[in-house]
């Protein structure tokens, strides 16, 4: 079972007790699922098709409970291209126009007499706004497993419907992005927090918890990785600085002769040349008398300054 089908399964089992929400969901299921076909002269064929039997059963129950319509459910077996069984609910022709009318979708001014997006009254209440998005997700939604990517989308069949879905999410301060893919108008979320909010808004709380678990694990391991990368780049920096200093010491020796350096600097140069990668504090302990970290660092800087002066021909201050 994929994460997406877990989410769909959880959403399909959400109870609906209010007529307003049933109306909003059925509207979204018909419009987003592309299940409204015009038969001419005010006649329509209505169907709701989904990959999960639970989704189709959900709308079967809503039609029966809130509209007194007994629909037909059939199984569509997969073809050679797509070997996946799908489930389809069909509304009898005699009930179709009445149902569209009850959903507020009939409109003489629209193409084929059906509104491409529902009237605002369909989502008048906050509960109906999320119901609309829930059904839209059940019909044409997808979500990636958080292990792989943060991505949740609803691929609407029309641009106006995609705008409508995005507007419902925006009501809940979930800001979706938009893109087009093939003939679909995709509303999508890429941020973990927004996806988590959307899952809990639609009622998929177990999926949201599973999502959050993976997200927290990922963030902890990212932080550990970042820390490790940071530590190893610090080590690289230390090695490079030490290498540069060894070059400086050899350069001073060749140009000036280490024996010309004042004793403290000469001792420092020998100690460093013999222990190229030793940490500063330990290096200080090699000296007689021992020297603290900041003292060591000051003497090493002095050696670098001398090498720089030798290279540029400046006066050398020993």
With a CB cutoff of 8 Å and minimum separation 6, the contacts of 96 are 43, 44, 45, 46
Residue 90's contacts (CB-CB under 8 Å, 6 or more residues apart) are 45, 46, 47, 71, 72, 73, 74
Give 133 or 155: the residue with its C-beta nearer to Zn ion. 133
In terms of C-beta density within 10 A (0-12 exposed, 13-18 middle, 19 or more buried), how is residue 53 classed? middle
In the complex with Zn ion, which residue's Cβ is closer, 19 or 239? 19
CB of 6 closer than 8 Å to CB of 54: no
What phi and psi, each to the nearest 5 degrees, are found at residue 262?
Answer: -60, 150
Nearer to Zn ion, 62 or 142 (CB): 62
Q: How far is the CB of 61 from Zn ion (least distance, A)?
A: 16
CA gap 13, 57 in Å, rounded = 10
Instruction: Name the residue nearer to Zn ion (CB basis): 125 or 251.
Output: 125
Q: At 146, give phi and psi (nearest 5°).
A: -60, -20
Closer residue to Zn ion in complex, CB, 135/156: 135
C-alpha closest to that of 30 among 115, 151, 143, 113 = 115
Shortest CB 230 distance to Zn ion, Å: 51
CB nearer Zn ion, residue 121 or residue 285: 121
The residues in 96-135 that bind Zn ion, with binding defined as CB under 5 A, are 125, 127-128
- Per-residue HEC secondary structure of 88-118 comes to EEEECHHHHHHHHHHCCCECCCCHHHECCCC
Rounded to a whole number of angstroms, the minimum distance from the CB of residue 3 to Zn ion is: 27
User: Within 226-285, which residues bind Zn ion (CB under 5 A)?
Assistant: none
157-193 residues labelled b (16+ CB within 10 A) or e (exposed): bbeebbebbbbbbeeeebebeeeeeeebbbbbbeebe
Residue 289 preceded by cis peptide, ω within 30: yes
Size of the site for Zn ion (CB under 5 A): 6
In the complex, the smallest distance separating the C-beta of residue 63 from Zn ion, rounded to whole angstroms, is 17
| Min CB(98)–Zn ion separation in Å | 21
- Closest approach of Zn ion to the CB of residue 201, in Å: 14
CB of 140 to Zn ion, least distance (A): 21
User: What is the contact mask toward Zn ion in residues 4 to 33, using x (rule: CB under 5 A)?
Assistant: --------------x-xx------------
Distance CA 165, CA 189 (A): 12
Q: Which is nearer to Zn ion, 127 or 246 (CB)?
A: 127
Is 202 or 306 the residue whose CB approaches Zn ion more closely? Answer: 202
CB 11 → Zn ion: shortest distance, Å?
A: 16
Residues that bind Zn ion in the complex, under the rule CB under 5 A = 18, 20-21, 125, 127-128
């Amino acid at each position: 079972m994929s994460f997406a089908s877990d989410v769909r399964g959880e959403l399909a089992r959400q109870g609906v007790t209010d007529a307003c929400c049933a109306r909003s969901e059925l509207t979204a299921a018909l419009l987003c699922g592309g299940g409204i076909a015009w038969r001419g002269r005010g006649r329509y064929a209505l169907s709701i098709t989904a990959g999960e039997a639970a989704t189709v059963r959900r709308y079967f129950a809503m039609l029966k409970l809130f509209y007194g319509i007994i629909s037909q459910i059939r199984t569509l077996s997969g073809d050679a291209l797509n070997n996946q069984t799908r489930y389809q609910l069909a509304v009898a022709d005699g009930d179709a126009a009445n149902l569209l009318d009850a959903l507020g979708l009939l409109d003489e001014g629209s193409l084929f007499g059906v509104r491409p997006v529902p009237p605002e009254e369909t989502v008048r209440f906050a509960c109906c706004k999320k119901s609309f998005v829930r059904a839209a997700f059940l019909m044409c939604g997808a979500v990636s497993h958080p292990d792989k990517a943060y991505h949740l989308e609803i691929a609407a069949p029309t641009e106006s419907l995609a705008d409508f879905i995005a507007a419902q999410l925006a009501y809940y301060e979930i800001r979706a992005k938009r893109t087009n893919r093939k003939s679909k108008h995709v509303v999508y979320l890429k941020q973990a927090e927004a996806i988590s909010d959307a899952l809990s808004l639609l009622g998929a709380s177990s999926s949201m918890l599973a999502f959050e678990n993976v997200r927290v694990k990922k963030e902890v391991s990212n932080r550990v990785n970042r820390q490790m990368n940071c530590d190893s780049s610090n080590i690289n920096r230390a090695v490079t600085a030490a290498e540069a200093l060894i070059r400086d010491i050899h350069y001073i020796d060749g140009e000036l002769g280490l024996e010309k350096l004042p004793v403290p600097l000469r001792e420092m140069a020998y100690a460093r040349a013999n222990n190229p990668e030793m940490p500063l504090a330990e290096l200080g302990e090699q000296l007689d008398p021992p020297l603290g970290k900041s003292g060591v660092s000051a003497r090493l800087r002095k050696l670098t300054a001398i090498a720089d002066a030798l290279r540029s021909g400046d006066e050398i201050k020993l």
